[in-house]
Amino acid sequence: MLAKIFIKPKKGILDPQGKAVFGALSRLGFSQIGDVRIGKYIEIRLNVNDKSSAHADVQKMCDTLLVNKLIEDFTFEIVEG
Amino acid sequence: MPGPKAGVIVFPGTNCDSDTYHAIKQVMGIDVDYIWYEKKTLKQYQLIVVPGGFSYGDYLRAGALARFSPVMDALRAYSENNGLVLGICNGFQILLEASMLPGSMQKNKTLKFICRDVHVRVERNNMPFTMLYKKGDVLRIPIAHAEGNYYAPEQTLKTLEGNDQVVFRYVDEKGRVSEDANPNGSVYGIAGLCNAGGNILAMMPHPERASDKLLGSEDGRKLFLSIKKALK
C-alpha cells in the first residue's frame, strides 16, 4: 500500500512562501490567480495488505508527528501498489 | 553542600551547545554538563538549557523530531517538578513542538534566515530568569533563525498576555513596538515566552551570544546572573 499525504497551511494562517510565489506568478502575467498556498507532500510505503488498517496507521502518523495541527491541515489517500 | 548544577542538552545537529556551556560556566560560575539526547533522567540538575542549532537537520518542521528523543520525557518530568528550563532558538522550537509551551513557529515573514542584533524589551522581571533586569529594559541581543515567526490562535494569545507570559518583545532601540522593529513577523512581537508557572522560558534571541563585552554586547549577561541568583 502507498499512502499519499498532502499537508498545507491552515486557512487564515499566513503563508509567506505562497505569498511570494503568488507575487512572482502575478508579475509573470498570470492575472487569473486568486491565491497560492504551499504545503508538503509525503509518500509512505506500508507493508500491509489491509486498507482500513493502513488508513488508521497513517491517521496516527499524521496526528503524532507529520502534521502540526495548530498551523497545518492535511488529507491523505491510500492506494494499492 | 555542592552548588547548583546545570545541563545543556545536545541533540544531533545542536550547534550552540559550547557557547551556552561557556556562558553558564564563565558568567554564572556554576558546574555544567553536556547532556546527550538519549539520557533518561535529569533529577540531579537545577537548570536545563535546550540550546540553539538545527536538531535533526530541522527536517519536517524545526524541533518536530527532537521532541521524540528520550531526554524529552525526562525534561517534561523535570519541568513538572518545577525545574528551571531555558530554551534558546531551536530550543524554543523544540519546546513548542513538545507542547511544553503553546503555539507554533512559522517561517520568517521575509522567508530569509536572519542573523543580526535585534532589540527586545523585558516585559516582566518577577521570575527567576529576569529578576536582575528592570521591567522595560531594552536589550540588544542577536537572533539567528529562519523560523522564529511565532504564531498562536487569538484565544491563546489573550491567555498569554493576561497571564503575563510574554517575557521579551521585539522593539526598536527606544523600546517602541513597531512592525519595522519586528524582524520575523511574530504575533504581538513575541520574542520570548514562559509557561504559567514561570519555570520554563523560551526565547529566539541568543543571550549566550551577548554575555561578554568581547562578543559586542553583554545585555544577555543578567539573564544568566538572574538564574544564578534564583538558584541560591
pLDDT at B1 over 80: no
B179: annotated active-site residue: no
**pLDDT recorded at residue B173:** 97
B208: annotated active-site residue: yes
Q: What is the mean pLDDT of residues B64-80?
A: 97
**pLDDT recorded at residue A14:** 84
d(CA B23, CA B3): 17
Q: How, if at all, do strands B149-151 and B138-145 pair?
A: unpaired
Inter-chain contacts counted by CB atoms under 8 A, chains A and B: 35
In three-state form (DSSP H/G/I as H, E/B as E, the rest C), the secondary structure along B105-120 is EECCCCCCCEEEEEEE
Cell of B75: 525534561
pLDDT band for position A12 (50/70/90)?
confident
Cell of B220: 544577555
**pLDDT recorded at residue B15:** 97
Q: Which CATH class is domain B5-231?
A: alpha beta
Q: Do A66 and B68 touch (CB under 8 A)?
A: no
Q: Do A70 and B152 touch (CB under 8 A)?
A: yes
Give the residue extent of every domain in chain B. Answer: 5-231
E strand segments, chain B: 5-10, 31-36, 47-50, 84-88, 104-106, 114-122, 138-145, 149-151, 166-171, 190-194, 200-203
pLDDT at A29 over 80: yes
The DSSP output letter for B175 is S
A49 contact partners, CB below 8 Å, separation of at least 6: A1
Q: Do B64 and A65 touch (CB under 8 A)?
A: yes
The residue among B115, B89, B77, B80 whose CA lies nearest residue B11 is B89
CB B201 within 8 A of CB B85: yes
Residue pLDDT, tens place only, A62-75:
999 999 999 999 99
- For the entire predicted model, the pTM comes to 0.94
**pLDDT recorded at residue B11:** 97
Q: Looking at the complex, does the CB of residue A66 fall below 8 Å from at least one CB of chain B? A: yes
Burial B52-90 (b: 16+ CB within 10 A, else e): bbbbbebebbbbbbbbebebbebbeebbeeebbbbbbbb
Mean pLDDT of the residues in chain B: 96
**pLDDT recorded at residue B2:** 78
- Set of chain A residues whose Cβ sits within 8 Å of the Cβ of B151: 13-14, 70-71
Q: What is the mean pLDDT of residues B78-98?
A: 98
d(CA B67, CA B7): 17
Residue pLDDT, tens place only, B134-168:
999 999 999 999 999 999 999 999 999 999 999 99
Interface confidence (ipTM) of the complex: 0.84
Q: Looking at the complex, does the CB of residue A28 fall below 8 Å from at least one CB of chain B? A: no
Taken in order of first residue, the domains within chain A and their CATH numbers are 2-79 (3.30.1280.10)
Distance from CA of A16 to the nearest CA of B (A): 6
CB B7 within 8 A of CB B41: no
Closest Cβ opposite residue B104 in set A17, A20, A71 = A71
pLDDT at B29 over 70: yes
d(CA A9, CA A74): 9
From B97, B119, B145, B206, the catalytic residue: B206
B16: annotated active-site residue: no
Phi and psi dihedrals of B192, rounded to 5?
-155, 140
